[in-house]
């Protein structure tokens, strides 16, 4: 693949990780919280996503290499801030994958009525653990195909619903700023993934390909989310007053096959996302050489020590879910808090590097916006994020 990526292949590689399980999880979740305000939430967060992607594209053009934005942070802010972003990312992946896992098993549990969601989650996780030890190298291609098919199916179903909709009126009602802020926090999940742009910067002949690919892919991501969110908002569903179920989008188009299609989509996307996130962060943990155990690798170079460390944490999270202490949206919110903190460090890198221009100004604006969104995170998580930053700031490099 070296030096052979063009605009379209690079766009495809970026769209998969950015969309991931978000297209299944987020539109119903945001609608349940904000209802008629959901399109406003999506418009704002997706606009931030486009600008965020352009900023990270410029970072990857200036500092080309597989380390991506992390390399720019290391060069501009120093090694200690590069490590800070690593710890924020590791913290996010302690929570986020459990939400992804629960999304995947939510639709298959009816085929295994004797097992609970937690029990099914443990089985699926063990399967993923075994796959990670084997170092599956085609997962990127599988995710690209799975995300593309899922997007096509959901967009087709959404367009079909919008064509059949007779009323596009929006009746706004009073809503608390806490709900709006929390919805923005959850919707940030749709931005996570643009940071990987730099990982492919060494694989293109012309750096202008990166900018064009970002514009194409961000436009596609925006269109997909807006169409699905619009169908959720405007669709004529008989039981819309209940918690929104994504299967309602598919039923008018795919009928009795809707549940099977949604089950396959969610399972493949969830497993693919888990393998990419857990596998990537396990390699990161192993490379940090924190302890002999977490840095231990097999002869195949699989980071089994770090994988086992993450598995223990994730099993603990599943236990907390079984005790109703955590749930999917809380897990996403906590993970997004760390993802936002990570993004802010990247934007600070951009400010120090760009010096002037449109993206320089936008970096300041996004830091302010993301920090406000971060304030709606769990207070304990917020204190941990700030505490870790203060420790890093005071720590001598």
Query: What CATH architecture is 7-394?
Result: Up-down Bundle (1.20)
pLDDT at 202: 67
Q: What is residue 78's three-state secondary structure?
A: coil
CA dihedral 177, 182, 183, 189 (to 10 degrees): 150
As to burial, measured by CB atoms within 10 angstroms (0-12 exposed, 13-18 middle, 19+ buried), residue 393 is exposed
Domain spans, the chain: 7-394
Determine contact, residues 264/247, Cβ cutoff 8 Å: no
Q: 277 forms bridges with which residues in the sheet? A: none
95-117 tens-digit pLDDT: 999 999 998 888 887 788 788 88
Structure tokens that stand for 117 in this block: 């969601």
Q: Strands, E, within the chain: which ranges?
A: none
> Residue 146 carries which DSSP code?
H
Please calculate the CA angle 253-45-201 and round it to the nearest 5 degrees.
95
* Gyration radius (Cα) of the chain, Å: 20
Pairwise CA distance, residues 150 & 156, whole Å: 10
Return the structure tokens found at 131.
Answer: 């796959």
Two tokens at 33? 């919280």
Per-residue pLDDT, 359: 94
For 174-208, the pLDDT digits (tens) are 899 999 999 999 999 999 888 777 666 767 777 78
With contact defined as beta carbons under 8 Å apart, do 334 and 91 qualify? no
DSSP bridge pairs for 5 = 204
Distance in angstroms (rounded) separating the CA atoms of residues 118 and 115: 8
Indicate the DSSP class of residue 4.
Answer: -
- The residues, any chain, with a CB within 8 Å of residue 222's CB and separated by 6 or more, are 46, 49, 50
Tell me if the pTM is above 0.75: yes
Take residue 202 and report the two structure tokens written for it.
């060494």
Q: What is the C-alpha to C-alpha distance for residues 199 and 205, in angstroms, rounded to an integer? A: 14
| Tokens (6 digits) for 168 | 């596009």
Degrees, nearest 5: CA angle 374-74-72: 80
Q: Which two tokens stand for residue 197?
A: 């742009």
Is the pLDDT score of 139 beyond 90? no
Q: What angle do CA 143, 109, 94 make, to 5 degrees?
A: 55
pLDDT at position 301 over 60: yes
Residue 385 has pLDDT above 90, yes or no: yes
pLDDT of 313 above 90: yes
Residue 137's pLDDT band, with cuts at 50, 70 and 90, is low
Place of tokens 């925006």: 222
Q: Hey, how many other C-beta atoms are within 10 angstroms of the C-beta on 56?
A: 26
Of all residues in the chain, the percent with pLDDT exceeding 90 is 51
């Amino acid at each position: 693949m070296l030096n052979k990526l063009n605009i379209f292949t690079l766009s495809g590689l970026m769209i998969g990780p950015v969309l991931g399980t978000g297209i299944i999880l987020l539109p119903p979740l945001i609608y349940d919280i904000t209802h008629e305000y959901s399109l406003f939430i999506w418009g704002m967060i997706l606009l931030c996503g486009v600008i965020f992607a352009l900023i990270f594209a410029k970072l990857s053009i200036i500092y080309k290499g597989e380390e991506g934005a992390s390399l720019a942070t290391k060069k501009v802010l120093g090694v200690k801030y590069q490590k800070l972003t690593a710890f924020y990312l590791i913290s996010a992946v302690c929570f986020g994958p459990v939400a992804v896992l629960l999304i995947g098993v939510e639709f298959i549990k009816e085929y295994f009525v004797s097992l609970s969601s937690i029990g099914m989650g443990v089985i699926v996780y063990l399967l993923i653990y075994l796959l990670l030890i084997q170092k599956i190298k085609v997962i990127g291609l599988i995710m690209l195909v799975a995300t593309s098919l899922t997007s096509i199916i959901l967009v087709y179903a959404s367009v079909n619903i919008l064509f059949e909709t007779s009323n596009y009126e929006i009746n706004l009602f009073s809503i608390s700023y806490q709900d709006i802020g929390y919805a923005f926090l959850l919707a940030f999940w749709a931005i996570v993934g643009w940071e990987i742009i730099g990982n492919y910067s060494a694989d293109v002949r012309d750096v202008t390909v990166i900018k064009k690919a970002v514009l194409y892919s961000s436009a596609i991501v925006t269109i997909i989310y807006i169409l699905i969110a619009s169908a959720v908002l405007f669709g004529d569903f008989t039981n819309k007053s209940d918690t929104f179920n994504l299967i309602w989008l598919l039923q008018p188009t795919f009928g009795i096959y809707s549940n099977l299609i949604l089950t396959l989509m969610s399972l493949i996307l969830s497993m693919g996302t888990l393998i990419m996130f857990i596998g990537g962060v396990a390699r990161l943990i192993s490379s940090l050489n924190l302890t002999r155990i977490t840095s231990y690798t097999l002869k195949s170079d699989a980071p089994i020590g770090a994988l086992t460390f993450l598995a223990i944490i994730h099993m603990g999270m599943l236990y907390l879910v079984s005790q109703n202490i955590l749930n999917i949206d809380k897990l996403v919110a906590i993970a997004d808090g760390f993802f936002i903190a990570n993004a802010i460090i990247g934007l600070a890198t951009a400010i120090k590097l760009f010096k002037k221009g449109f993206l320089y100004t936008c970096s300041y604006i996004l830091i302010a916006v993301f920090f406000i969104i971060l304030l709606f995170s769990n207070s304990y998580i917020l204190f941990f994020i700030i505490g870790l930053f203060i420790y890093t700031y005071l720590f001598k490099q």
